Chains A and B, each alone.
Chain A
Amino acid sequence: MGHSGKPIPNAGSGGDAVVNRIAVGAHYGLKDWLVQRVSAIVMAVYSVGFAVCVLPRMPYGFDSWRALFAPAWSKIAALLFIAALLVHAWIGVRDIFMDYIKPMGVRLTLQIGVILALLVYGLWAITILWSF
């Protein structure tokens, strides 16, 4: 639903159902709703697993810390967490922008900036994990 609650003028003449469909604002669309929850669960499972496996064996030295991320499955699990994190962050930040940033140009610029930052983070994470 549009949080502004204002209908878009001249939003097409496709009948009442279409006219009243305001496709802006947070919480629009089942897909994003679901992605936000699935990514949350992926992160929660990884976080709890990490805490249970890693925290009791603190403190770590460099070698034992590195050995933790050495197996392929461990790298993939970490990358899965980061992928879920980036998708989750995108939907969350986009919702915040849609609620508070009303000028379309500013909002679009910020959104593009966030997408680029998240892409960089994703590539950065891959290079970190597969650099050793």
Chain B
Amino acid sequence: MATPVVKSRPKNLNLLTIRLPLPGIVSIFHRISGALLFLLGIPFLLAMLQGSLANAESFSHWGALLTAPLVKLVLFVLLWSFIHHFCAGIRFLLLDIHVGVKIDAARKSSLWVIVVSLFLTLVAGVMLW
């Protein structure tokens, strides 16, 4: 039997005092957006697909529903979730093949992911409003 090494390093897991670096922010946003897409995104997507394809009445019914401000807000959050998850995912795939693993490049690409996803969400939002 191997005896487990008990590490007694000091730990700081106080979320209020931890300052997350940019790649860490992209990472936790990736997780949060993924959770949102699972909880709201998938049922919403399927409900919309069903409603829009079933018949002409339900098509226009769903079209009208999507103009409600609250529904639009949810749609925006989901849109950002999708776009951020997409962009951050591409970045993670590039890191997998060792593109941009150096700290400077990783910071820069994190900032790009955040900025580009917000920008694309804004563009899509203006188009949809």
Contact = CB atoms under 8 A, between A and B. Distances in A.
Interface in A45-63: 47, 62
A20 B2 contact: yes
Contacts, number: 60
Nearest to B49: A128
B2 A16 contact: yes
A10 to B, nearest CB: 10
Interface in B38-71: 38, 42-43, 46, 49-50, 52-56, 59-60
A65 B2 contact: no
Q: Do most interface residues of chain B lie in helix, strand or loop, or is the interface mixed? A: helix
B35 interface: yes
Contact of A40 (B37, B53, B59, B89): B89
Contacts of A40: 89, 93
B4 interface: yes
B104 interface: no
Interface of A: 5-7, 13, 16, 19-20, 37, 40-41, 44, 47, 62, 65-66, 69, 85-86, 89, 92-93, 96, 114, 121, 124-125, 128-129, 131-132
B1 A13 contact: yes
Contacts of B100: none
A7 B35 contact: no
Contact of B38 (A7, A92, A132): A92
B124 to A, nearest CB: 9
Given A13-B1, A37-B96, A40-B89, A92 B46 contact: no
Contact of B59 (A19, A65, A89, A93): A65
A65 B38 contact: no
Given A20-B2, A89-B38, A44 B89 contact: yes
B46 A65 contact: no
A65 B55 CA distance: 11
A2 B121 CA distance: 36
Given A65-B53, A92-B34, 16 more contacts: A19-B2, A37-B93, A44-B86, A62-B52, A62-B55, A62-B56, A62-B59, A66-B53, A86-B42, A89-B42, A92-B31, A93-B34, A121-B43, A124-B46, A125-B46, A129-B49
